[in-house]
Amino acid sequence: MLALIQRVRRASVSIDGAVVGQIAAGLLVLVCAEQGDTSAQADKLLAKILKLRIFSDAQGKMNRCVQDLDGAGLHGGLLIVSQFTLVADNSGGNRPSFTQAAAPELGRLLYDYVVQQARAAHSEVATGVFAADMQVELVNDGPVTIPMRVVPTVGG
């Protein structure tokens, strides 16, 4: 599974002009399931996202994760948006190929699973709508943008 994580001051997702998900400060997480991904990769990806230390501590060092903010009563929302184009392969020309993306059924299943697990582990989770034509607005804080990929482990 792939994710692109952006530390944001605020972010929102709209469909046809109506806001369907928004957060104040926290993480905008664009998520893509690849062919062959399972809930095990989803679990590993979410665990890494929740513990990713990209928020400043009192000394200005990136030593805090989104869950540290949540536990301190500060804003630390997650806005999780499906984004199959993260797997874009443009090595063969100018038109990207998305053949490594999971089939829509598996993609939806794993996206929904990530959202469900995130809501069980974190107090503030907002989402986009799977496969919808969405407009995402954000104020990137830093800017801090981190790509992340979790691949299957041998034997599991």
73-128: per-residue pLDDT in tens? 677 899 999 999 999 999 988 999 999 999 999 999 999 999 999 999 999 999 99
The CA distance from 33 to 52, in Å, is: 20
The 3-state DSSP class for residue 55 equals strand
Q: Indicate which residue of 6, 55, 84, 117 is catalytic.
A: 84
Q: Which of 6, 41, 83, 117 is catalytic?
A: 83
How far apart, in Å, do the first and last CA atoms of the chain sit?
A: 14
> In CATH, what number is assigned to the domain containing residue 118?
3.50.80.10
Query: Given the structure tokens 């996202």, which residue do they identify?
Result: 49
The answer to the question of residue 156 being in a domain is no
- Catalytic hit among 85, 98, 116, 135: 85
What local confidence, expressed as pLDDT, does residue 43 receive?
Answer: 97
Residue range of the domain that includes 63:
2-148
Task: Assess whether pLDDT exceeds 80 at residue 143.
Answer: yes
Q: Sign of dihedral through CA atoms 66, 72, 73, 74?
A: negative
Is position 155 within any domain? no
- Ranges of beta strands (E only) in the chain are 2-15, 18-23, 26-32, 55-56, 62-64, 77-82, 125-127, 135-149
55 is catalytic: no
